[in-house]
């Protein structure tokens, strides 16, 4: 008889541990904003007009 516990971990279970595409994009954007703010502080540059694409 089929027992689900004997089934190896499938893609559905592994994918749940990883962030989805939207979460990765938001994370990248937030990291980029922090880096720009740090660079602006270091070099005294105004980055308020910078847009992340």
Contact 8, 16 (CB under 8 A): no
Query: Residue 47's pLDDT is what?
Result: 85
Quick one: pLDDT at residue 17? 73
24-42 in b/e burial notation, b at 16+ Cβ within 10 A? Answer: eeeeeeeeeeeeeeeeeee
What pLDDT, in 10s, does the model give residues 1-53? 556 666 666 666 656 678 899 999 999 999 999 999 999 999 998 888 888 77
Coil, helix or strand for 8? coil
């Amino acid at each position: 008889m089929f027992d689900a516990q004997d089934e190896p971990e499938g893609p559905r279970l592994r994918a749940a541990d990883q962030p989805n595409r939207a979460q990765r994009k938001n994370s990248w954007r937030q990291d980029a904003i922090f880096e720009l703010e740090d660079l602006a502080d270091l070099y005294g540059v105004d980055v308020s007009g910078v847009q992340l694409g």
